[in-house]
């Protein structure tokens, strides 16, 4: 089955059982893939994409038709009034930061209803112990949060009590980040948005949609969210976009964000594309299919490592709201071995040995396995984790299922060779 790699018989047997158990859930993923790919093709045809749109611009980028049509494609695919898609968003955190600073003003209040946000966003907000220079806090924007319930789900009763008209923004992080709580489905976001709009009719409901695009048939914007943002080196870039991010939602809010990205008054009208348009269009087109492949990889990983005796979340038979799979490895040595094995299954830098090290924006050493065509792309098979309890690996991605499956087997093989399985 794997003649080019030395996989132990024990693991091959576990793999066969895992894949058999996963098959019904693969079929469900493929149904969503088919629907979302149709939606994306419709977005391309509706926007009238032509070869001329692949030509890049320089300097100010005035009149860049490809840039403007790409915005339309994402707006149609996400069922948004407008979208801002740019290669010069350098990360998901940068994209979210532009959106936050674009819409919030000194004296405004934001309320995060999904507990403590992702590590890098904590510095943007200016949470205690993470008061970075230039944070929202420094600009007089106050922050409050509603913690999740003990089972990791949103506390809707507390939202009913705490959400007031004084809040300018209700902030939702869809994905789990480096936590073990469940990621949010669009139906969960819809329930939060309903409470928010009833209690604070003028508030902005913003969603950090990283890792969640094209996982379900619908996106948060059709379920009550006003605006959402994410990274093109995750799901919506299809493993082809070399960098970038998007902001999509209400037209007036997207315009405010564009003024923060460039300057007030010029907004989206400037910004050259430097020859990136073709890759961004191609990535968008492939995104629904590639997201499905990453989901199948995650389901297989869940089934395989549960077969090997490890706790996993989500389970292979649970519905998924994003592409992230967590494997509870229980000890530091197992976590490091897992990441080493994933690295060996990478098409790029497979010879590199991952080592825990400090990383900007994180409060503990982080180990990462990511031999990717695009540096840091988490739609490509990757695994990472902070070296702290409970020594869990957060893995995601897989440009195609077959290579993703092999990557998970090599992770298990590395652990087996170190007698950790």
Domain positions in the chain: 9-34+289-417, 39-284
pLDDT, tens only, 314-327: 999 999 999 999 99
**Residue 390: pLDDT band by 50, 70, 90 thresholds?**
confident
Q: Is-contact 298 396, C-beta < 8 A?
A: yes
Three-class secondary structure assignment of 144-199: EECCCCCCCCCCHHHHHHHCCCCCCEEEEECCCCCCCCCCCCHHHHHHHHHHHHHH
Tell me what the mean pLDDT of segment 396-413 comes to: 97
* Beta pairing, strands 392-396 & 382-386: antiparallel
On whether the CB atoms of residues 339 and 367 are closer than 8 A, the answer is: yes
| Residue 2: φ, ψ to 5° | -130, 70
Q: What is the pLDDT of residues 282-337, one digit of tens each?
A: 999 999 999 999 999 999 999 999 999 999 999 999 999 999 999 999 999 999 99
Is 40 within 8 Å of 287 (Cβ atoms)? Answer: yes
What are the φ and ψ backbone dihedral angles of 99, each rounded to 5 degrees?
-65, -45
* Tens-digit pLDDT profile for residues 212-242: 999 999 999 999 999 999 999 999 999 999 9
Report how far apart, in Å, the C-alpha atoms of 19 and of each of 3, 57, 265, 286, 294 are: 18, 47, 55, 24, 15
Please answer whether residues 290 and 397 qualify as being in contact, where contact means their C-beta atoms are separated by less than 8 angstroms: no
The per-residue pLDDT for range 152-188, each reduced to its tens digit, is 999 999 999 999 999 999 999 999 988 899 999 999 9
9-34+289-417 CATH pick, 3.40.50.800, 3.40.50.720, 3.40.50.300, 3.90.1150.60? 3.90.1150.60
Are the C-beta atoms of residues 85 and 116 closer than 8 Å to each other? no
CATH code for residues 39-284: 3.40.640.10
pLDDT of residue 217: 98
**In 57-179, alpha helices (H):** 65-77, 92-103, 119-125, 156-162
Sheet holding 311-313, edge to edge: 311-313, 325-328, 392-396, 382-386, 366-369
- Token pair listed for 190: 């819809």
Question: Any residues with CB less than 8 A from the CB of 375 and at least 6 apart, and which?
Answer: none
What pLDDT shows up at residue 361?
A: 64
Contact 325, 395 (CB under 8 A): yes
């Amino acid at each position: 089955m794997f003649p080019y790699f030395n996989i132990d018989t024990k693991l091959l047997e576990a793999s066969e059982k895992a894949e058999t158990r996963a098959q019904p859930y693969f079929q469900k993923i493929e149904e969503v893939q088919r629907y979302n790919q149709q939606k994306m093709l419709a977005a391309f045809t509706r926007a009238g994409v032509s070869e001329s749109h692949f030509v890049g611009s320089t300097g100010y980028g005035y009149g860049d038709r490809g840039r403007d049509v790409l915005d339309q494609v994402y707006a149609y695919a996400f069922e948004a009034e407008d979208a801002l898609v740019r290669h010069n968003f350098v990360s998901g955190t940068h994209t979210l930061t532009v959106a936050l600073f674009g819409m919030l003003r000194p004296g405004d209040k934001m309320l995060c209803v999904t507990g403590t946000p992702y590590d890098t966003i904590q510095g943007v907000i200016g949470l205690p112990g993470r008061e970075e220079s230039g944070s929202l806090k420094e600009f007089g924007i106050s922050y409050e949060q509603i913690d999740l319930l003990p089972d990791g789900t949103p506390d809707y009763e507390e939202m009913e009590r705490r959400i007031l008209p004084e809040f300018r923004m209700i902030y939702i992080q869809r994905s789990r980040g480096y936590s073990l709580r469940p990621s949010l489905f669009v139906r969960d976001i819809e329930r939060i948005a309903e409470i928010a709009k009833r209690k604070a009719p003028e508030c902005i409901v913003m969603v950090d949609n990283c890792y969640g695009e094209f996982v379900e048939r619908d996106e948060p914007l059709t379920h009550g969210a006003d605006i959402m943002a994410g990274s093109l080196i995750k799901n919506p870039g299809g493993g082809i976009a070399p960098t970038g991010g998007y902001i999509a939602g209400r037209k007036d809010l997207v315009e405010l964000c564009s003024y923060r990205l460039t300057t007030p008054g010029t907004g989206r009208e400037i910004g050259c594309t430097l020859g990136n348009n073709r890759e961004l269009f191609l990535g968008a087109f492939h995104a629904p299919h590639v997201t499905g492949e990453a989901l199948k990889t995650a389901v297989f990983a869940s089934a395989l490592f549960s077969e090997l005796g490890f706790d996993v979340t989500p389970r292979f038979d649970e519905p998924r709201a994003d592409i992230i799979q967590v494997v509870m490895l229980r000890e530091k040595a197992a976590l490091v071995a897992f990441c080493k094995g994933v690295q060996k299954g990478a098409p790029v830098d497979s010879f590199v040995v991952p080592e825990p090290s400090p990383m900007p924006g994180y409060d503990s050493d982080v180990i990462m396995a990511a031999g990717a065509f695009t540096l840091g792309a988490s739609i490509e098979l990757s695994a990472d984790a902070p070296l702290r309890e409970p020594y869990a690996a957060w893995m995601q991605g897989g440009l195609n299922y077959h290579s993703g499956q092999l990557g998970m087997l090599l992770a298990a093989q590395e652990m087996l060779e170190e007698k950790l399985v």
